[in-house]
């Protein structure tokens, strides 16, 4: 019971340390939109991009976006329910317009972002649990504050340069090449390095299993070992082995005999005479009456 309690406590403790494990994150924020992305009304408004980092779809309906431009004046926007567009596909983005006009659609919030001082943005799930928060610094027009890559820990100001470009509703850094593969092509073009490393790991994995089952096997073998008796062990072992084989042979023979299964059938039908009182010759004959003299 104590052990179970300990396990439960450890499990609960690990559950409470879930920082950074949220599926939905704030990914990029642009506070001062002059010539950047336009909304569906053709208006340049500030925006907040959220990213679903999981490999499952997540429905944002009922989630909360909170903004605080000054301490103590938090504004909350609840993502409406009933809109299929609130379902964010795996590893995809959703963009909320901070234009203070919620009547324009699900993705138009009831707040705007302050362009003259840092503002705090928080994202909560429908159970009001904080999923992610960020303090956005004061940004120049058309600059965004974004994670370096989608869902990465580090943030940077994206000024619109060639390497730091603003990316509403798309990946914060476009993946154009696979660095791992390129490294392999340069350093291990023949594949020997990969083969050796991988074979080593495969062997390590299976050696681990071998060790476990060997230890388990020995433990079980020792447990089931018969008590030592003062007889010649080797002889006894041989006798046991041969006895086992004999028993197996007898069992197989009995099984074949009793089961009536044969490798080769004779294809001959034999009608055996069965003696019953009805077929008994003696009973079938009438008794000759005796003459009484």
Partner 1 sequence: MGEFASFIANNLADFWTYTGFCNATPGHLVMILVGLFFIYLAIAKEFEPMLLIPIGFGILIGNIPFNTEAGLMVGIYEEGSVLNILYQGVTSGWYPPLIFLGIGAMTDFSALISNPKLLLIGAAAQFGIFGAYMIALEMGFNPMQAGAIGIIGGADGPTAIFLSSKLAPNLMGAIAVSAYSYMALVPVIQPPIMRLLTTKKERVMRMAPPRRVSHTEKVMFPIVGLLLTCFLVPSGLPLLGMLFFGNLLKESGVTRRLAETARGPLIDTITMLLGLTVGASTQASEFLTWDSIKIFMLGALSFIIATASGVLFVKIFNLILPKHKRINPLIGNAGVSAVPDSARISQILGLEYDPTNYLLMHAMGPNVAGVIGSAVAAGILLGFLM
**Per-residue buried b or exposed e for 94-122, using 16+ beta carbons within 10 Å of the residue's own CB:** bbbbbbbbbebebbbbbbbbbeeeebebb
145 and 136 Cβ atoms separated by less than 8 Å: yes
Other Cβ atoms closer than 10 A to 68? 19
Q: Is 41 near partner 1 (CB under 8 A)?
A: no
From 37, 264, 40, select the one nearest 165 (Cα to Cα). Answer: 37
Tell me if residue 19 falls in helix, strand or coil: coil
Q: Kindly indicate which of the ranges 18-26, 40-48, 210-218, 268-276 contains the residues binding partner 1, using the contact rule CB under 8 A.
A: 210-218
Complex with partner 1: residue 197 or 279, whichever CB lies closer = 197
Q: Kindly indicate which of the ranges 7-15, 93-101, 150-158, 199-207 contains the residues binding partner 1, using the contact rule CB under 8 A.
A: 199-207
Q: Is 276 near partner 1 (CB under 8 A)?
A: no
| Integer Cα distance of 79 and 95 in angstroms | 12
Candidate list 8, 9, 43, 208; residue touching partner 1; CB under 8 A: 208
56 and 112 Cβ atoms separated by less than 8 Å: no
Q: What are phi and psi of 117, to 5 degrees?
A: -145, 160
Number of shown-chain residues binding partner 1 (CB under 8 A): 31
131 and 123 Cβ atoms separated by less than 8 Å: yes
In angstroms, give the least distance from the CB of 211 to partner 1: 8
Q: Is 271 near partner 1 (CB under 8 A)?
A: no
Q: Kindly indicate which of the ranges 119-127, 137-145, 161-169, 184-192 contains the residues binding partner 1, using the contact rule CB under 8 A.
A: 184-192
In angstroms, give the least distance from the CB of 208 to partner 1: 7
Candidate list 190, 229, 276, 292; residue touching partner 1; CB under 8 A: 190
From 166, 157, 140, select the one nearest 49 (Cα to Cα). Answer: 166
| Integer Cα distance of 60 and 86 in angstroms | 5
Candidate list 70, 217, 233, 239; residue touching partner 1; CB under 8 A: 217
Candidate list 1, 209, 261, 274; residue touching partner 1; CB under 8 A: 209
Q: Is 249 near partner 1 (CB under 8 A)?
A: no
Q: Kindly indicate which of the ranges 27-35, 73-81, 207-215, 270-278 contains the residues binding partner 1, using the contact rule CB under 8 A.
A: 207-215
Q: Is 236 near partner 1 (CB under 8 A)?
A: no
In angstroms, give the least distance from the CB of 19 to partner 1: 23
The helix or strand, by DSSP H or E, that contains position 50, with its residue range, turns out to be strand 46-52
Site residues (vs partner 1, CB under 8 A): 178, 180-181, 184-185, 189-192, 194-195, 197-199, 201-203, 205-210, 212-214, 216-217, 220-221, 224
């Amino acid at each position: 019971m104590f052990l179970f309690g300990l396990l439960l406590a450890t499990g609960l403790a690990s559950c409470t340390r879930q920082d950074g494990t949220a599926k939905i994150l704030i990914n990029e924020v642009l506070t001062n939109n002059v010539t950047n992305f336009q909304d569906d009304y053709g208006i340049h408004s500030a925006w907040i991009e959220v990213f679903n980092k999981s490999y499952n779809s997540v429905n944002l309906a009922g989630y909360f976006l909170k903004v605080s431009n000054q301490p103590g004046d938090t504004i909350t926007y609840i993502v409406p329910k009933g809109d299929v567009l609130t379902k964010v596909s795996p590893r995809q983005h959703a963009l909320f317009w901070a234009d203070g006009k919620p009547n324009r659609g699900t993705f138009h919030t009831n707040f705007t972002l302050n362009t003259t001082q840092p503002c705090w943005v928080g994202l909560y799930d429908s159970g009001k649990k904080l999923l992610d928060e960020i303090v956005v610094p004061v940004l120049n027009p058309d600059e965004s504050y974004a994670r370096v890559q989608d869902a990465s820990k580090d943030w940077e100001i994206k000024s619109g340069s060639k390497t730091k470009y603003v990316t509403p509703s798309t990946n914060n850094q476009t993946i154009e090449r696979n660095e791992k593969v390129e490294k392999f092509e340069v350093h291990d073009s023949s594949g020997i390095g990969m083969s050796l490393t991988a074979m080593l790991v495969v062997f390590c994995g299976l050696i681990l299993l071998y060790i476990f089952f060997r230890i388990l096997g020995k433990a079980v073998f020792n447990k089931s070992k018969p008590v030592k008796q003062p007889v010649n062990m080797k002889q006894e072992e041989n006798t046991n082995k041969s006895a086992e084989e004999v028993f197996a042979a007898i069992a197989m023979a009995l099984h074949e005999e009793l089961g009536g299964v044969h490798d080769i059938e004779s294809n001959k039908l034999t009608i055996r005479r069965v003696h019953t009182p009805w077929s008994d010759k003696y009973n079938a004959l009438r008794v000759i009456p005796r003459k009484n003299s």
